[in-house]
Every structure is written in structure tokens, then in C-alpha cells.
Amino acid sequence: MILRLLRSLNRAYPFVVLFGYMGAFVLAFICIFSFPLGALVLIIGSVLSLAFVVFFGEALSGIEGILTRRALKKNRCPACRTGPIQKNAAHFQCLGCGARFHFDGAQLSADEQEACASDASGTSAKLIAVE
């Protein structure tokens, strides 16, 4: 439950931050004409808050990585909560939904999963060609 909530929070966090900063920019732009000191405070506050925003995002993804590794050790997929987990040489793979995870708990992106699948099929194609 916590892992599922954390996963969705981590997926939404960059967009929340982006729209928060865009809102601050629009507000600062409006303040330029009406209250210039407010625009200055907003810009300085936004720049100074960036370190905390990045730190909070890293902390969230770190906690998600810990919980993901714990779920993978229990042979439970963090993405679909079912399926046996197969441990490959480079990553964990859920046999139920096909999701792949690095050993640090991060889920492989769609491009990385595609590259892994094409590597595997390329290897088998080479084996077929040799035979």
C-alpha cells in the first residue's frame, strides 16, 4: 500500500514541481507590473527552494527504492503486486507483467526494457544463424 502510493507520488512529483514553478513564474510576471518587490521575493524564493525540492524528490525516490528492493526480495512485483520474480544477470524481471527493475530498486524505462528485449532476441537470432 505504501509502496504503491509512493510509486504514484514519485511519478507525479516532477510534474507537480514543474507546474508549481510555472505558477510562480506567472505570478512573478504579473507582480512585475503591480508589485515589483513581490516578483523579486518570488524569484529569490524559487531559486532558494530548488535545493529543498530536489532533496525531497531524492528522498522520495530513495524510500521507494528501499521498499521496492524489499518487495522484490519477498518475490512480489512492485508494479503489479503479483507474479514470480526472476533474477537475471543485470536486473529483476516480473514474469507476470514483464516489468524489469535494477538491483537498486529503480524500474527500467520503456526504452531500456525494449533494448533488453531486443538484446535477448538478437542473441537468439545470432544463435539461430550459427546453427
Quick check: 94 binds Zn ion (CB under 5 A)? yes
| Angle, in degrees to the nearest 10, between helices 36-73 and 2-34 | 170
Quick check: 85 binds Zn ion (CB under 5 A)? no
List of residues 6+ apart from 84 with CB closer than 8 A: 75, 94, 95, 96
Q: What does DSSP assign to residue 88?
A: -
Candidates 22-30, 53-61, 98-106, 123-131: pick the segment binding Zn ion (CB under 5 A): 98-106
Cα angle vertex 52, ends 65, 64, to 5°?
10
- Among the listed residues 5, 41, 59, 97, the single contact to Zn ion using CB under 5 A: 97
User: Which residues are 87's β-sheet partners?
Assistant: 92
Q: Residue 93 Cβ, how far from Zn ion at the closest point, in Å?
A: 9
Quick check: 12 binds Zn ion (CB under 5 A)? no
Strand order from edge to edge, sheet including 100-101: 85-87, 92-94, 100-101
Q: Residue 63 Cβ, how far from Zn ion at the closest point, in Å?
A: 20
- Among the listed residues 79, 91, 93, 107, the single contact to Zn ion using CB under 5 A: 79
Site residues, Zn ion (CB under 5 A): 77, 79-80, 83, 94, 96-97, 99
